[in-house]
């Protein structure tokens, strides 16, 4: 299957955006997953609602909010540009930001469930032996919950790979800059005679998603077999 340069650019950009989104959101996802699983505090229900909100809101609304906040005239966008030279609007970094936000609820939910299944008595035992909280978290909680952490990262990656509404609203579909796999497929649907290219991109997207989920499941099952042994 021979891909055109434009198709290759869209695929590589999608992978770049999805991997960047997961890499930067995973530490926050682990932190929020632990917070929601282990702590009780005022406003927890409100925070839980806010974390899930991007998943249930129309993606176009999320993209519009990002554009208003991080756009060239948005308050956060102006601050970042003038003080740090960072621009998100109509850049691939903006696509990564939008994808990270859209996939974050799935990531946090999977990690939260994984941490909730970790026996708290093991964490208490480590603390009793003198381990500080950060060490208990890194040496007990994370290793026992890591299959769920992997699953959360893969879900966020798959969501980022297929994200369309928020990204096209926030960063448009600029070939070579912000045109991801999903926006390229949508563009080809509007062009007569683009069926062959459309099918190639669709098959590549299916293959990447399948491979990601397959590797995730393999790692989880391998961990379970190791725990059983």
Per-domain residue ranges of the chain = 5-223
pTM over 0.85: yes
* 10 or 194: which leads in pLDDT: 10
Q: What residues contact residue 16 under an 8 Å CB cut-off, 6+ apart? A: 92, 96
| 203 alpha-carbon distance from chain centroid | 22
Mean pLDDT value of segment 124-152 = 89
Decide if pLDDT at 37 tops 70.
yes
Decide if pLDDT at 66 tops 90.
yes
Handedness of CA 113, 16, 184, 178 (dihedral sign): positive
Helix or strand holding residue 125 (H, E): helix 120-128
Mean pLDDT value of segment 75-79 = 94
How many angstroms separate the CA atoms of 117 and 121, rounded? 11
* 6 or 225: which leads in pLDDT: 6
Reply yes or no on domain 5-223 having CATH 3.40.50.300: no
Question: The tokens 């964490």 sit on which residue?
Answer: 123
Decide if pLDDT at 162 tops 60.
yes
Please tell me the least confidently modeled range out of 110-124, 128-142, 175-189, 210-224. 210-224
Decide if pLDDT at 225 tops 70.
no
Count of alpha carbons within 13 angstroms of residue 154, beta-carbon side: 19
Q: What residues contact residue 7 under an 8 Å CB cut-off, 6+ apart? A: 184, 197, 200, 201, 204
Mean pLDDT value of segment 20-32 = 95
How far CA 98 is from CA of 17, 62, 160, in Å, comes to 10, 8, 8
pLDDT band at 111 (very low <50, low <70, confident <90, very high): very high
pLDDT band at 227 (very low <50, low <70, confident <90, very high): low
DSSP state of 215: H
| 8 A C-beta contact, residue 219 and residue 147 | yes
**Residue 72, phi then psi, degrees to nearest 5:** -60, -30
Average pLDDT, the chain: 89
pLDDT at 31: 94
pLDDT at 190: 83
pLDDT at 147: 85
Instruction: Compute the CA torsion angle 208, 211, 216, 222 (nearest 10 deg).
Output: -170
pLDDT band at 42 (very low <50, low <70, confident <90, very high): very high
Decide if pLDDT at 226 tops 60.
no
pLDDT band at 228 (very low <50, low <70, confident <90, very high): low
**101 CB neighbour count, 10 Å cutoff:** 23
pLDDT at 4: 85
How many angstroms separate the CA atoms of 118 and 116, rounded? 5
Alpha helix (H) ranges present in 57-118?
Answer: 59-70, 75-84, 92-116
């Amino acid at each position: 299957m021979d891909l055109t340069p434009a198709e290759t650019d869209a695929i590589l950009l999608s992978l770049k955006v999805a991997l960047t989104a997961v890499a930067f959101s995973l530490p926050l996802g682990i932190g929020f997953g632990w917070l929601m699983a282990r702590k009780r505090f005022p406003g927890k229900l409100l925070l839980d609602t806010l974390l899930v909100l991007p998943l249930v809101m129309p993606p176009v609304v999320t993209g519009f909010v990002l554009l208003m906040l991080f756009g060239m005239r948005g308050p956060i966008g102006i601050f970042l540009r003038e003080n740090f030279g960072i621009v998100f609007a109509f850049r691939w970094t903006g696509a990564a930001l939008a994808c990270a936000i859209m996939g974050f609820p799935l990531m946090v939910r999977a990690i939260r469930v994984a941490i909730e299944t970790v026996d708290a008595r093991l964490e208490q035992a480590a603390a009793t032996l003198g381990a500080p909280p950060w060490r208990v978290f890194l040496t007990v909680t994370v290793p026992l919950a890591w299959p769920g952490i992997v699953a959360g990262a893969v879900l966020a990656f798959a969501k980022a790979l297929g994200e369309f509404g928020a990204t096209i609203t926030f960063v448009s579909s600029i070939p070579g800059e912000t045109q991801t796999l999903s926006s390229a497929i949508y563009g080809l649907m509007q062009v007569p005679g683009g069926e062959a290219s459309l099918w190639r991109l669709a098959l590549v997207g299916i293959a990447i998603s399948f491979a990601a989920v397959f590797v995730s499941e393999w790692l989880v099952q391998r961990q379970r077999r190791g725990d059983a042994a």
